[in-house]
Amino acid sequence: MISANDLKLTFGQGTPLENPALQGMSLTVAEGEFVTVIGSNGAGKSTFLNALAGEVLVDSGTIVVDGEDVSRLPTHKRAGRVARVFQDPLAGTCEGLSIEENLSLAIKRGQRRGLSSAVKSRYKDRFRASLASLNLGLENRLGDKMGLLSGGQRQAVSLLMASLTPSSILLLDEHTAALDPKTARFVLELTESIVRESGLTTLMVTHSMKQALEVGSRTVMLHQGKVVFDIAGSEREGLEVKDLLELFEKQRGLEITDDSLLLD
């Protein structure tokens, strides 16, 4: 469960570049819910995710994950609860390390690391089985360097890494945006099946309104660092992109100026 209350965060406070990224952002996500987050550029989507992960600390407000206030904790202390996949396929893995080394890093997420061998033989069968489920032939390439994989393959492995150890929440930051349409669909389907199997509480930021309505069980739109609308259940069913646009304009009295939101 995630509960974010009245988050405020301003970048470059007191400088000419002052940028209020979060302006009283509140959102409560129930256990096992899959929420898609949309919003135009600068709406605060990535900042919100970074605030949840601990990459940025909020100026005020509280973030509670599974009953614990994590607002002031740095990223690595939240990692046991928070799994994350980045937009940039290069960001979620280490290209200089092998596939099995990357997976071994992830299997100890949020736990103490000692001096025993990192890539244990008992891990390997599990790695092979998980990789085989991707149908990418990676199960026979455990020793290959991550840098040899394509962007889509790396995103798929990043998703596996996020699901190797139990966590409370999964944060997906436009994780299909840098992929070609076919690979993006594959990674999205993989995301859905992983979320379904693990029952993870998931937040997925996306640039595509269509994608936002197709996956997950609830959609939230951010604008100027706040939630402007929040739809779920029957209200959300059968909704199309143009309905979403109308909803947005009605709520804000604004026109969508960011074309990329309208593109599929």
Partner 1 sequence: MLSEIALYGAVETGLIYGLVAFGIYLSFRVLDFPDLTVDGSFPLGAAVAAVLIIEGFNPWLATGAAILAGMAAGSVTALLNVKLKILNLLASILTMIALYSVNLRIMGKPNLALLSEETVLTPWYDLDLAYHQVPVLLFCIVLLVSFVLLWRFMKSETGLAMRATGANPRMARAQGIATGAMIVLGVALSNGLVGLAGALFAQSQGAADVTMGVGVIVIGLASLIGGEAVITPLNVVRALLACVVGAILYRLAIALALNADFIGLKTQDLNLVTAVLVTLAIVLPGARNSLRARFLRNSSKV
| Residue numbers 128-167 binding partner 1 by CB under 8 A | 161
Q: Which of 105, 177, 178, 262 binds partner 1 (CB under 8 A)?
A: 105
Strands of 2-11's sheet in order across: 19-29, 2-11, 60-65, 68-69
Closest CA to 39 of 264, 257, 193: 257
Confirm or reject binding of residue 238 to partner 1 (CB under 8 A): no
* Alpha carbon distance 165, 185 (integer Å): 24
Between 121-132 and 151-164, two packed helices, what is the crossing angle to 10 degrees?
Answer: 120
* Nearest-angstrom CA–CA distance, 191 and 163: 10
Binding window for partner 1 (CB under 8 A); candidates: 13-21, 58-66, 114-122, 197-205: 114-122
By the rule CB under 8 A, 194 interacts with partner 1: no
Integer-rounded Cα Rg, in Å, for the chain is 19
Stretch that binds partner 1, among 3-11, 22-30, 87-95, 174-182 (CB under 8 A): 87-95
Verify binding: residue 20, partner 1, rule CB under 8 A.
Answer: no
Our finding on whether 226 is near partner 1 (CB under 8 A) is no
Q: Which is nearer to partner 1, 103 or 195 (CB)?
A: 103
Binding track over 54-73 against partner 1, x by CB under 8 A: xx------------------
Centre a 10 Å sphere on the Cβ of residue 143 and count the other Cβ atoms it contains: 10
Burial of 139 (0-12, 13-18, 19+ CB in 10 A): middle
Residue from 79, 156, 179, 209 that binds partner 1 (CB under 8 A)? 79
Task: Kindly state the tokens that stand for 76.
Answer: 């690595």
- Footprint of partner 1 (CB under 8 A): 53-55, 74-77, 79-80, 82, 84, 86, 91-97, 101, 104-106, 108-111, 113-119, 161
